């Protein structure tokens, strides 16, 4: 029995719903970070010189010293695969023939968890360089999915 099948011997249950819909602001840092992705196809970080860290995505504060950060830097589109996984089971419980690949891509001292594309599972390697592939500018909407995936270079 998979997780998604109901046990016919289960106790009678009351069905209820929790209505949860949220509108999230991007935040002061997020406004800057996502506008750069949408309008310029750039990935921005912020620099804390005192702690010698470049935060990606950029933040308005350093989590180490709680200092204010206003030095924005373009960290480029190329990062390094820090680790990855192959998603064989889909969210609905079915098996995929070709796994989806997600990776943590190091950019600056931070990075992004994102999809990898244009690569076969056999060719994956930790430490490989990958580059962000953006949607055409007209289709971007200020979302992390404006980056379609990262591909090897």
Residue 27: CB minimum distance to other proteins, A: 3
Q: Which residues from 32-71 bind other proteins, rule CB under 8 A?
A: 59-61, 63-66, 68
Cα separation, 130 vs 49, whole angstroms = 27
Pairing of strands 129-134, 147-152: antiparallel
**Closer CB to other proteins, 28 or 126, in the complex:** 28
**34 within 8 A of 143, measured Cβ to Cβ:** yes
Binding-site residue total for other proteins (CB under 8 A)? 24
**Closer CB to other proteins, 61 or 99, in the complex:** 61
Q: What is the dihedral of CA 40, 22, 69, 115, to 10 degrees?
A: -50
Query: Which neighbouring-strand residues pair with 151?
Result: 131
Task: Indicate whether 95 belongs to the interface with other proteins (CB under 8 A).
Answer: no
Cα separation, 69 vs 28, whole angstroms = 11
Residue 7: CB minimum distance to other proteins, A: 20
**Closer CB to other proteins, 22 or 98, in the complex:** 22
Binding site residues, other proteins, CB under 8 A: 14, 16, 18-31, 59-61, 63-66, 68
């Amino acid at each position: 029995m998979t997780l998604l099948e109901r046990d016919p011997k289960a106790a009678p249950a009351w069905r209820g719903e929790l209505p949860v819909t949220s509108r999230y602001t991007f935040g002061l840092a997020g406004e800057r970070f996502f506008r750069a992705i949408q309008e310029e196809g750039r990935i921005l970080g912020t620099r804390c010189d005192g702690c010698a860290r470049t935060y990606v995505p950029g933040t308005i504060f350093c989590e180490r010293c709680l200092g204010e950060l206003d030095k924005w830097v373009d960290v480029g589109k190329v990062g390094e695969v820090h680790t990855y996984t192959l998603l064989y089971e889909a969210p609905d419980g079915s098996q995929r023939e070709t796994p989806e690949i997600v990776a943590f891509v190091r950019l600056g001292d931070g990075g992004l968890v994102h999809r990898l594309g244009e690569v076969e599972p056999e060719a994956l390697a930790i430490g490989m360089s990958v580059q962000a592939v953006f949607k055409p500018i007209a289709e971007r909407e200020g979302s992390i999915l404006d980056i379609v995936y990262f591909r090897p270079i």
